[in-house]
Amino acid sequence: MRETLAEAAFQLFLERGFERTTVDEIVARAGVGRRSFFRYFPSKEDAVFPDHERCLADMTALLARGTEPDPVRAVCDAARLVTRMYAAKPEFSVQRYRLTQEVPGLRTYELSVVRRYERTMAGFLRECWSGGPDGALRAEVVAAAVVAAHNNALRAWLRSGGSGDAEAAVEHALGTVLDVWARPAAPAAAPGAEAFAGPAGFAGAAGSGGASGANAAVSGGGPGGGPAEVSADGDVVVMVARRDAPLWRVVQQVEAVLGTPARHR
């Protein structure tokens, strides 16, 4: 019933315009009573975006499962759910985008939907980073960056009429966020070498002499180069970082090397 009403409403919006279409006309086209419409949609605007509630629920569930240990990669996975929702119905998505651009009330409604996605991501990140420095600030910044990157690529695809691969475009855009904020995977070290885990593009082996950037090294050697005395309650971590490396990046590298999920700090 919900899909039937949404399809009837959208067809009428395209034929007659959003403002000129009444709820009575929608229910007549769908062959149901007026009360049925309001059982599923509080307003005409809600009928234009019938799939976002389900997508928001899926996003919330995905983040709650916590299968991705890196919070930034997790919210990028969540954003991809929105991309797939649009890409699954390209013709409808493009028509809705064009309708939204023509009706100020729909643009306002769409912005409120986008803000709900962003709040969901930011809330998840705040929980993950609650024990770290500037955790709430980082959460808001990263959530906004993910939404901005995602929407920039998605809207370019919609403006093109659905030409090209929406998911590939969004993946490229999210890569700009991951390059800056995601926790990099620790690279495999050469035999006998100590492993560095630095930002993307700055990985090497301890003692290589050519590494640059901010790097974290797990060292098994003590001050004199011999075996380190590691206590039972912690590892020995030696940091090698550029003088201008931000503190949050250094912390990320320690977490990456030790395999400590940020959300459990």
- Token output for 113: 């939907």
Average pLDDT over the chain reads 80
Q: Which of 199, 154, 200 is nearest to 173 (CA)?
A: 154
Q: Please tell me the pTM assigned to this model.
A: 0.69
Token pair in block for residue 258: 């030790």
207-221: pLDDT as tens digits: 333 333 444 333 333
Q: What is the pLDDT of residues 34-84, one digit of tens each?
A: 888 898 888 888 999 988 999 999 999 999 999 999 999 999 999 999 999
Task: Answer whether residue 137 shows pLDDT above 90.
Answer: yes
Phi, psi of 237 (to 5 degrees): -120, 125
Long-range contacts of 78-83 (CB under 8 A, 24+ apart): 78/120, 78/121, 78/124, 79/117, 79/121, 79/146, 79/147, 79/150, 79/170, 79/174, 80/167, 80/170, 80/171, 80/174, 81/55, 82/55, 82/117, 82/150, 82/154, 83/150, 83/154, 83/166, 83/167, 83/170
Q: Give the pLDDT confidence score for residue 198 in this predicted structure.
A: 37
The answer, yes or no, to whether residue 168 has pLDDT greater than 60, is yes
DSSP 239: E
Selected residue with higher pLDDT from 127 and 210: 127
Residue 119 has pLDDT above 70, yes or no: yes
Q: Which residue from 133, 132, 142 is spatially nearest to 260, judged by alpha carbons? A: 132
Give me the sign of the Cα torsion angle 145, 110, 80, 128: positive
Helix (H) or strand (E) holding 107, with range, is helix 104-128
pLDDT at 236: 56
More confident position, 256 or 111: 111
Flag whether pLDDT at 231 surpasses 60.
no
What pLDDT, on a 0 to 100 scale, did the predictor assign at position 183?
80
